[in-house]
Structure 1
C-alpha cells in the first residue's frame, strides 16, 4: 500500500476527531471507484459485454456516491469478483442493482449460469438463469422464470409487495434497515447464533431504537460515529450466559450483527463497538497495520483465546471508543449511570491488558497503525484515573460473544 499521512488517520481513531464528513465520503467514493475499475478489468478479459458499464452516468454516480458507497451491496460485488469466471456475471448484476438503488436508470438482460445470492438494499434474493432488469424513476422490475419483483422507492426506502419487510430504525433522520430471521445475511450469522423469531422482532426492534436514541441523547460525536457508515443491522436473539453477540466483517461494509432485546446500554455498546470496526475496516483500505514479518499472537481476555496482534488492535480500538462513549453518558448524568459504571469496571482489566499488549508490541505495528491507537491510549489512561478503574484482569467477569 502507498504511504499515508499519519494525520489522515486521526479521524478514524475516535468520534471526537471524526468531524469532517468529506474525509469519509471521499474515501468511500475511492473504494467504490476501485471496485468499478476491477469489474471493468475483469469483464475486459472475457467475451461478455455490458453497455451500462460504459455509461458516463455510471462514472458520475460512482464519483459522487460518498458514504453511501460503504454498503454491503458494494462489498458483495467485491467478494464476487474474487471468485471464478461464472461469478463475474453475478458481480455485474449486483453492481447494476446497487447503482439502481442509488438512482441509476437503465435495462439489463443476463443469464446466470450458477445460482448466486444478490442484494438490492435490504432484500436478499437467490438468482439463477435468465434475468431481465428494468429501472427508472424510483422503480425496478426484476423478472425471471421463477418470480417477478416490483420495487418502488418511497422516500429514502425501497419497498416490494412481493417481499414484505418494512423494518427500520431512525437515527438523526437517517433510516437504518433491520433484518431478522431468515432475512439476515448468512455470511454474518454463525451456526452457534440464534436467529431472532418473528414473534420477538417487534420488541427487539423497539429496543434497538431505544439504543440509538440513547446514543443520540448522550453524545453528538457518537451519534455521528454510528450513523455515518452504518446502513443495515441484523438482529439475533440473546444467547444464554452470553448476552453480547455482535459482529461485522470487512466483506460486508456498512452492515453489522447485534443482539436484541437486551439492556439499552448493552445494545448501545454493541452499536458503538461494531461501528468503530467500520472505521477500522475503512482505514485498512489505505494502510497496512502490521509490519511485514512481525505478526504474532497474544492472549485476549475478552475473547478467551489467542489472537493476532492486529485483532488485538481491532479490539482495543473498538473498546476504547466504547469507554469514551460511556464517559460522555456519565458526564450527562444519564439514568443508566450506575449500569454503565459497573460495565466499565467489568471491562476495564481486560481492556487494560489489550493496551498493555499493544504498548509492549508497538514495534510490530506500522507508524500509521500506532497513530491510530496512541491517542486512544492517553484518553483511556485519563478515564482509568477519573473513575478509578481496576487494571488486574479477572477473566471470569468479562464476556464478549463467548458463552461462559
Structure 2
C-alpha cells in the first residue's frame, strides 16, 4: 500500500496526479453505474448520457478530470435509500449538468489556479441536504473576498508550493458561504461531489489557505476511501474534540488527516516569517491534531493497511515538526 501514501500529504508520492486520475475515473464509473441502476429501476430504462460518459472515460476519449471540469461531476451515491421519482430525477440531472455557476455583480465567476480555472458555484440545497449534516448560507463574493482568495493562492504558490500543487490536482469549484461570526470558520465538502468545496467569506488569506488545505485534504481522503475500508468493522467509538462527543474511529482519522495537513502547511508559513499572523490558528490546529492523535494511537490496531497508509506518514511528519520546535 506504499503508493497510497500519496493521499496522506503532498510530501509523499510523486505519482499523486496519476493516482488521482486513475481513482477518480474508476470512482465516477462505479457511481455512474449505480445511479443508472436506480434510474432504470424507476424509469424503465438507462440514462443514455451517463452511459455515453462512462464509455468515453473507459475508452480514453475523455478523462475524468476533463469531465469533472466541464460538467461538475457531482459524485452521488444512494446507499440503498429510497427517493421519490422527483428527487431521483433531480439528482440524476444534477449529476449530468454543468453546475449553477456563480453570477456575481462584480463579475468574479472564476479564479486562476496555475493552468486551471476554478469556478465559483452556488449551493444546490435540494441535492446537498440529502447528504450534508447541515447546509450553510450562500453569500456574495465581494471585491475584497476575491482579493484575499487571490492573495492566499499566491502565498501558497510562493511559500507552500507542495500544498499549492496538492489543491490544484483536486479542486474544481469553490462555493462561497456566509461566515457565521468573526470567531468561527466554516467550510465543507460532500464525499460524492468531487472537486467542490465550501469556503466561508469574509476571511483573510491565512484563513482561506487553511480552509482550502483542509477541504482538499478531504477530497484526497475520499478518493482513498473509495478503494476500501480504513477502519476494521467493530472498532469502538472514540472521543472527538471536534464534536465534543464519542464518534466512530473513521471520523477521527478524517479530522486528523485534514488538520495535520493544515499544521504542516502552517509550519512552512512560520518558516517564511508569518508566525504572528497564524499563531492562533496554528495553536488551534496543533491542539486538535494532538487530541485526535491520542484517540487514534490508542486504537491503532483497528486501522486497516489503507488507514495506516493515511495516518502513519502524517504522524511522523507532525512529530518532526514538534521536535523542531524544541531544538
Tell me which interval the TM-score lies in, with the shorter structure as reference length.
0.7 to 0.9
1:303-358 Cα shifts (integer Å, max 9, x gaps) = 43333211111111111111111122233x24x23223443234323321111111
Q: Aligned ranges for residues 2-81 of structure 1 at < 5 Å?
A: 6-20=1-15, 21-45=17-41, 46-48=43-45, 51-52=48-49, 55=52, 59-61=55-57, 63=60, 64-68=62-66, 73-75=72-74, 77-79=76-78
Give 1:35 shift: 2.6
Look up the SS of the partner of 2:117 in the other structure.
strand
Q: Render the CA deviation track for 1:113-162: whole Å, top value 9, x for unaligned.
A: xxxxxxx23449xxxxxxxxxxxxxxxxxxxxxxxxxxxxxxxxxxx9xx
Aligned match for 2:258, one of 298, 311, 318: 318
Q: What SS does the aligned partner of 1:74 have?
A: coil
**Is 1:201 matched with 2:142?**
yes
Residue 354 (structure 1) aligned with residue 292 (structure 2):
yes
Change (3 A) 1:65 1:219: same
Distance in 2, matches of 1:65 and 1:193, equals 32
Answer yes or no: is the 8 Å Cα contact 2:75–2:191 preserved in 1: no
The alpha-carbon distance between structure 1 residues 251 and 83, as it changes in their structure 2 partners (threshold 3 A), is farther
Q: Cα RMSD over matched residues?
A: 3.2
Contact preservation (8 Å) 2:160, 2:265: yes
Q: Greater Rg, structure 1 or structure 2? A: 1
1:169 to 77, 91, 111: 111
2:215 to 274, 278, 282: 274
Higher helix share: 2
Higher relative contact order (CA 8 A, sep 6+): 2
How many residue pairs get matched? Answer: 317
Deviations 1:83-141 (Å, cap 9, x if unpaired)? Answer: 447255445544553xxxxxxxxxxxxxxxxxxxxxx23449xxxxxxxxxxxxxxxxx
TM-score, normalization: structure 1? 0.69
Structure-2 separation of matches of 1:371 and 1:292:
18
Unaligned runs of 5+ in 1: 1-5, 98-119, 125-159, 390-404
CA distance in structure 1 between the partners assigned to 2:142 and 2:228 by the alignment = 39
Shift of 1:78: 3.9
Cα distance in 2 between the residues matched to 1:81 and 1:178: 31
Answer 1 or 2: which has greater strand percent: 1
Q: How does 1:294-313 map to 2 (within 5 A)?
A: 294-300=235-241, 302-313=242-253
Task: Give the conservation status (yes or no) of the 8 Å contact 1:167–1:177.
Answer: yes
1:7 Cα deviation after fit: 1.5
Relative to the length of structure 2, the TM-score reads 0.83
Q: CA deviation at 1:238?
A: 2.7
